[in-house]
Structure 1
Amino acid sequence: MQPPTSRAKPPARLLTAIAFTGSLLISCASTSETQAPTPGATTSSAANPSASPQAQGMNHAHPGSSHNTALDLGPSEANYDLRFIDAMIPHHQGAIAMAKAAQQKAQRPELKQLAAAIIQAQTQEVTQLQKWRQQWYPEFDSTPMAYDAEKRKMLPMSAQQQAAMMMHQDLSASGSEFDQRFLSAMMPHHAGAIAMAQDALQKSQHLEIKQLARNILTTQKAEIQKMQQWQAAWSQP
């Protein structure tokens, strides 16, 4: 579904976030589970899973590059789950921050209810991911790790990667358009988590991560469908 033509264009930070998600999808292997909605570029939404970022010429950046918005989780090996954890924690934290803003600023009670569900579920998942990191990787300090696809090795995650992974944006003050801005931000955010969850189902070394990935797929796909319905309904004059 194309967004209403009268709606303002997404802010630059959101476009960068969507580009990040597209780059992540390019780096992931083909998935064996149900495919996630694929966020497009500036005019596509999660409602159109055929709007592939690959077809729109998005670049796959690497750590240290000046336009680093991609985070390739790398191959399936002993430290894959460490990188998945270090990617998913800030990604969840970005969703939690936007959901907290929605609790304060959203006009519609159903959107506030969704925000509360996002905060509850993803806060619990962040806590669990942090525990697993401590249990499974005691030899690593708290520095988040990422995979450098160009150098084919794991390196500390750059500040740019961490910011891109959060996909957090300031949705501005409350008002009649806040609810639509929240939907336009949260749907591609969920699609990014779904892409990582699909990747983890193929590559994770831990059954716990695979179960978490399945939970993310189930929950966030359902939430995207709900948000798509609201976006369509609330766009009507």
Structure 2
Amino acid sequence: MIGAIGAMNEINASNEADYLAHMVAHHQEAVTAARQLQRSKRPQMRALGASIVTTQSAEIAKMKAWLSLWYPRRSPATDYRPMMRDLSKLSGDALDETFLRDMIPHHMMAVMMSQQLLMHGDVQHEQVAEFAAKVRDDQHAEMLRMQQYLADWFGGSGMPCPI
């Protein structure tokens, strides 16, 4: 993994603009990885990938629009550090297992960032609070499904999911 734990400690979602900017970069990484699942032999993984691409692409557009509308002077650049490995050269079980092992902590980061913003952050717009709650809940549910896939197909539980 590319420094997932280190990245978890560095992201500060204490204000709405930072949360949105970091979440755009975070979602873009997930969409890039999920597109690779079109090559999976498992229909469940192809469906998971398609769902992530569709959902998170729409969310990226929404977050970019909010940033542009509410924070036009804020640079869209972030210090985001990738959490996922390059999946482009993997296939078969290696593709599926690597995706699952990388995406579970990736989703965990989104859950943690969203919860941090909701509990301790400076939320200026109700839409962002609702969005953060939805990201938290939806990605938590996906993490549980991905952990089950790991257990069923690869005999492992993946990352612990304390949340």
TM normalised by structure 1 equals 0.60
What pairs with 1:1-237 in structure 2 (closer than 5 Å)?
Answer: 14-21=1-8, 23=9, 70-74=10-14, 80-103=15-38, 105-140=39-74, 142-144=75-77, 157=78, 161-162=79-80, 164=81, 166-171=82-87, 172-202=89-119, 203=121, 204-236=123-155
> Counterpart of 2:13 in 1: which secondary structure?
coil
Instruction: State the Cα deviation string for residues 50-95 of structure 1 (Å, max 9, x = none).
Output: xxxxxxxxxxxxxxxxxxxx22234xxxxx2111111000000000
One-letter amino acid matched to 1:82:
A
One-letter amino acid matched to 2:110:
A
Distance in 2, matches of 1:107 and 1:88, equals: 30
One-letter amino acid matched to 2:83:
M
Cα deviation, residue 205, structure 1: 2.0
Asked which structure has the greater CA Rg, the reply is 1
Distance in 2, matches of 1:107 and 1:18, equals: 30
* Maintained 8 Å contact 1:97/1:168: no
* Maintained 8 Å contact 2:104/2:146: yes
Distance in 1, matches of 2:112 and 2:93, equals: 31
* Maintained 8 Å contact 1:99/1:119: yes
One-letter amino acid matched to 2:99:
F
Distance in 2, matches of 1:206 and 1:170, equals: 35
Distance in 2, matches of 1:200 and 1:170, equals: 29
Instruction: State the Cα deviation string for residues 156-206 of structure 1 (Å, max 9, x = none).
Output: x4xxx22x1x42320232133221111001100000000111012122221
1:138 and 1:107, CA in 2 relative to 1: closer, same or farther beyond 3 A?
Answer: same
1:107 and 1:167, CA in 2 relative to 1: closer, same or farther beyond 3 A?
Answer: same
Root mean square deviation, CA, Å: 1.5
> Counterpart of 2:145 in 1: which secondary structure?
helix
Cα deviation, residue 20, structure 1: 1.4
The structure with the greater share of residues assigned to helix is 2
One-letter amino acid matched to 2:29:
G
1:143 and 1:122, CA in 2 relative to 1: closer, same or farther beyond 3 A?
Answer: closer
One-letter amino acid matched to 2:13:
L
Distance in 1, matches of 2:94 and 2:106, equals: 19
1:222 and 1:213, CA in 2 relative to 1: closer, same or farther beyond 3 A?
Answer: same
Unmatched tracts of structure 2, length 5 or more = 156-163
TM normalised by structure 2 equals 0.86
Unmatched tracts of structure 1, length 5 or more = 1-13, 24-69, 75-79, 145-156
> Counterpart of 1:176 in 2: which secondary structure?
helix
Distance in 2, matches of 1:170 and 1:115, equals: 15
Number of residue-to-residue matches in the alignment: 152
> Counterpart of 1:139 in 2: which secondary structure?
coil
